[in-house]
A and B are shown apart, each in its own frame.
Chain A
């Protein structure tokens, strides 16, 4: 029993380069800023008293800082405050406090928007929570001071990697069970739906390609976690993930999902990716 517990501790507490966390933190901040800036023009539609959604009053059962006010000017100030916290997180200035504000914001948006919050909101919310409980190496202050590179436990990175696996496997299993996916017709329906950003003519011209695209999506979502987890194919996985999400961003209105997945993929970068000699000419790699 002790042997297994020891193995479990080793799994979560393996030391990793602190820059792994810094990269995820920066990517998370970028994704959060993009999400905030896309939401900003619609703040009065969804959060104000003159908007489309009737907001409830603040209660402990449904806590949201967006229920504290209905005034348009105060909601704008709230957006500005959260934007400052996200910028602070980006540069690593009081990261933990900034991240706590970001998490509070994402939970508040989730509660206020309800079912209108989408998968990309969930990704940012969950990754924010994992980052919050992860080691938070110093950001800008540490960079200014010198070349300190502390080694920190891997549990945060591990959780983020497992979360990416969970996202893909939990989404692909019901797809394998669905007839439209198995017959290869799904992408045709999707690209002709309200989520698409391509004209109908495209789907007529490339009907066969869309069939292979549907099956390709199933194969990709089933295998990408394994490709990323395997050290030898990790970089291939990062490249395939980039192509897949670039495709989603180009062909649909779900580009925010692709942006939200950036920190998830960033958790698969490891310390060797940060070593200069690997990329510089004349290096010893």
Chain B
């Protein structure tokens, strides 16, 4: 490996002759070898996902050492999100707010905020109907804190702009009659 290129250090042959490894070095070497094998373990799951499914270790999870580098494999399909909150007060009147808490700022304006909503959309796609529930409860609490009155209901209005709408009309991947944006509404009663 590249560090062996250093001319001002002893070569590996010299070390092999002069070095007498102790027991600690043997154990550490084995530990490092296991660690290195763990780094490459996702390769096995890609090669044969049905046969080899590595267990998710809680310890690795807590240490943050899970190796998952499979992001950006599937093509991203969301071009942009148009988000607005509709606040329904107890007397039935409605008003609009921007979605980013605290302060109801417009957004998503950066990667982290975008990931927040993309993650919930993915949960929704996987069948979790309550994907936006905790966020909308935070909206309820924020409205109550700022305005002194708990709203009856909050609705997240989401326009999903898809990448495919930018494809040329002749492209086979472009579905016919695709709307410019898909509108979704997520309702939550304030508890």
Contact = CB atoms under 8 A, between A and B. Distances in A.
Co-assembled chains A and B: yes
Given A14-B12, A170-B42, A272-B6, A9 B19 contact: yes
Contacts of B72: 171, 190
Contacts of B66: 122
Contacts of B6: 16-17, 270-272
Contacts, number: 219
A220 interface: no
Question: Interface of chain A, helix or strand or loop or mixed?
Answer: helix
Contact of B110 (A42, A107, A177): A42
A46 interface: yes
B50 interface: no
Nearest to A178: B73
A113 B110 CA distance: 15
A228 interface: yes
Contact of B145 (A9, A42, A50): A50
Contact of A170 (B46, B77, B111, B134): B46
Interface residues on chain A, size class = 35 or more
B29 to A, nearest CB: 5
Contacts of A230: 2
A277 to B, nearest CB: 11
A53 to B, nearest CB: 8
Nearest to B66: A122
Contacts of B116: 46, 52-53, 116
Interface residues of B, number: 72
Given A54-B134, A118-B115, A189 B75 contact: yes
Best-surrounded residue of B26, B32, B58, B62 (most CB of chain A within 10 A): B32
B57 interface: no
A167 interface: yes
Contact of B118 (A114, A194, A228): A194
Contacts of A275: 8
B80 interface: yes
A170 B2 contact: no
A189 B2 contact: no
B114 A194 contact: yes
Contact of A166 (B29, B67, B118): B67
Interface of B: 1-10, 12, 15-16, 19, 21, 25-26, 28-30, 32-33, 35-36, 39-40, 42-43, 46-47, 58, 62-81, 100-102, 110-116, 118-119, 134-135, 137-138, 141-142, 145, 163, 166
Interface of A: 5-17, 20, 39, 42, 44-46, 48, 50-54, 61-63, 106-107, 110-111, 113-116, 118-119, 122, 125-126, 129, 151, 154-155, 157-159, 161-163, 165-167, 169-171, 173-175, 177-178, 180-181, 185-186, 189-190, 192-195, 200, 203, 228-231, 234, 253-254, 256, 268, 270-272, 275
8 contacts: A13-B29, A17-B9, A39-B112, A50-B101, A52-B116, A171-B72, A193-B77, A234-B2
